[in-house]
């Protein structure tokens, strides 16, 4: 009897520790919605290109400071990081948003549409949050406010990552997730898990979509230069025609995904997006450039395809007496949702979303992959349109008409907040 009383006395302080309820999180997310919309509209109206998000970073830092947090700025040029310290011991998890915009001239007609212009590759361009990063920032700030409101009862801590240059750093510069990690955001305190949300990607309105394992492709760039011998167009036998050879190479590259690698393992894409060569109708040039993209979902296949592109192109060129020069720029790795983390958080996603749509792997790329290579990651899509509209009929990400149905922002805040609390409390 005395032993039982002693055990109950020892357990009483633990039982008295309050836990954050889902109802509490949902109520706070609802209260934050007006401010979240205001943040979203400010970001949308004031977009900035990668590594140049100075006003954006200042606005984020100011919002976090007003919450009582102490943001660190200037990481990877314009990145912002803050930590919410929970009132109870436990692990740390991370939430990430990208903050950069695209060189796209907006055509939405919204009252808060962007009229910003900037310089990109030496040209004056319109600038727009055509990929939805304005929504990502607003949802993460909303989640920061919700989680900071319950921090005394949080069994752990939360790292908030606002990352620049997800769409790519300017030529000759480093940037994005890779640079944030290089500058040590995980060096002192490494989170046990990292979560991210991307709006759009053809997801049903207001619903979460995801899948375990590979979710978004690795994206690499290649440049092939076919070197022939210039001659008169009327006497092609006196030269080596790189245009004909380039055409054969384009066709040959299409056999890689369909005939040279195991198509049952994972999908892959090799696309040539630019062909450049020649200046006159009756002059066969001495060289032609082919530039393209490679999309893969398996790291070993990724390496194999790199090798096969060069081998295929070189074999075709040499058969005609030409030479090639092959350059490869490695892009973002595959975004992989950790299967165990996915299974663990699925009840959370289902409760918040009602239905979780399991999607096929997407051939677009995202540098969230770098974080998920360091610690288990879970990246989900959130439908940007109204729930009664077929997402296939809406303007896609990167369109000058891309927009967000703002009630869905509250869903994103709830997703972020509930993922954190359920992970820490479970």
8 Å CB contact between 233 and 241: no
Give the model's pLDDT for residue 15: 43
Question: Which pTM value belongs to this model?
Answer: 0.92
Q: Is 375:193 a contact under the CB 8 Å cutoff?
A: yes
Q: Is 120 a catalytic residue?
A: no
pLDDT value, residue 182: 98
Q: What is the pLDDT of residue 202?
A: 85
The pLDDT value given to residue 18: 75
Which residues share a beta bridge with 380? Answer: 197
95-109: per-residue pLDDT in tens?
999 999 999 999 999
Residues forming a β-bridge with 345: none
- The CA-based dihedral angle spanning residues 344, 348, 351, 356, taken in that order and rounded to the nearest 10 degrees: -70
Q: What was the pLDDT predicted at 17?
A: 62
In contact, 290 and 250? CB cutoff 8 Å: yes
Q: How far apart are CA 155 and CA 144, in angstroms?
A: 16
For the chain, which residues score pLDDT lower than 50? 1-16
Active site residue 332: yes
- Spatial separation of the C-alpha atoms in residues 71 and 114, rounded to whole Å: 27
Mean of the per-residue pLDDT values of the chain: 95
**pLDDT at position 12, please?**
45
> Structural domains in the chain?
22-216+334-425 (3.40.630.10), 218-329 (3.30.70.360)
SS (H, E, C) the chain: CHHHHHHHHHHHHHHHCCCCCHHHHHHHHHHHHHHHHHHHHHHHHCCCCCCCCHHHHHHHHHHHHHCCCCCEEEECCCEEEEEEECCEEEEEEEEEEECCCECCCCCCCCCCCCCCEEEECCEEEECECCCCHHHHHHHHHHHHHHHHHCHHHCEEEEEEEEECCCCCCCCCCCCHHHHHHHCCCCCCCCCCEEEEEEECCCCCECCEEECCEEEECEEEEEEEEEECECEECCCHHHCECHHHHHHHHHHHHHHHHHHHCCCCCCCEEEEEEEEECCCCCCEECCEEEEEEEEEECCHHHHHHHHHHHHHHHHHHHHHCCCEEEEEEECCCCCEEECHHHHHHHHHHHHHHHCCEEECCCECCCCCHHHHHHHCCEEEEEEECCCCCCCHHHCCCCCCCCCCCCCCHHHHHHHHHHHHHHHHHHC
Beta strands 72-75 and 213-216, pairing class: unpaired
Task: Look at the chain and count its residues.
Answer: 426
Q: Which of these is catalytic: 332, 342, 370, 423?
A: 332
Rounded to whole angstroms, the Cα distance separating 63 from 153 reads 22
- Of 149, 153, 20, 11, whose CA–CA distance to 88 is shortest? 153
């Amino acid at each position: 009897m005395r032993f039982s009383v002693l055990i109950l006395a020892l357990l009483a302080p633990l039982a008295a520790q309050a836990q954050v309820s889902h109802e509490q999180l949902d109520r706070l997310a609802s209260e934050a919605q007006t401010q979240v919309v205001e943040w979203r509209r400010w970001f949308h109206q004031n977009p900035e290109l990668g590594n140049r998000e100075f006003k954006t970073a200042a606005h984020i830092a100011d919002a976090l400071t007003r919450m009582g947090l102490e943001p660190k700025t200037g990481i990877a040029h314009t990145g912002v990081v803050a930590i919410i310290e929970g009132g109870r011991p436990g692990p740390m998890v991370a939430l990430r948003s990208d903050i950069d915009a695209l060189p796209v001239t907006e055509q939405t007609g919204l009252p808060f549409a962007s009229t910003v212009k900037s310089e990109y590759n030496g040209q004056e361009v319109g600038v727009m949050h055509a990929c939805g990063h304005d929504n990502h920032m607003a949802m993460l700030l909303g989640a920061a406010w919700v989680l900071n409101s319950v921090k005394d009862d949080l069994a752990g801590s939360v790292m908030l990552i606002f990352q620049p240059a997800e769409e790519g750093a300017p030529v000759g510069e480093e940037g994005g997730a890779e640079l944030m990690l290089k500058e040590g955001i995980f060096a002192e305190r490494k989170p046990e898990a990292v979560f991210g949300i991307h709006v759009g990607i053809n997801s049903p309105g207001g619903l979460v979509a995801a899948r375990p394992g590979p979710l978004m492709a690795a994206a690499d760039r290649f440049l092939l230069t076919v070197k022939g011998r210039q001659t008169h167009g009327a006497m092609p036998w006196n030269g080596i025609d790189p245009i004909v050879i380039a055409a054969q190479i384009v066709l040959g590259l299409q056999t890689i995904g369909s005939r040279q690698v195991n198509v049952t393992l994972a999908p892959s894409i090799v696309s040539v997006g630019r062909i450049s060569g020649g200046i006159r109708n009756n002059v066969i040039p001495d060289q032609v450039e082919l530039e393209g993209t490679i999309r893969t979902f398996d790291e070993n296949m990724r390496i194999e395809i790199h090798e096969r592109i060069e081998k295929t192109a070189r074999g075709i060129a040499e058969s005609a007496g030409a030479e090639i020069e092959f350059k490869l720029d490695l892009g973002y790795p595959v975004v992989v949702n950790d299967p165990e983390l996915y299974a663990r958080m699925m009840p959370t996603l289902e409760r918040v979303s009602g239905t979780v749509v399991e999607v096929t792997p997407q051939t677009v790329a995202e540098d969230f992959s770098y974080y998920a290579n360091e610690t288990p990651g879970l990246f989900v899509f959130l439908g940007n349109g109204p729930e009664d509209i077929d997402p296939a009929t809406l303007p896609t990400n990167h369109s000058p008409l891309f927009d967000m149905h703002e009630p869905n922002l509250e869903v994103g805040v709830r997703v972020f907040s509930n993922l954190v609390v359920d992970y820490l409390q479970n």
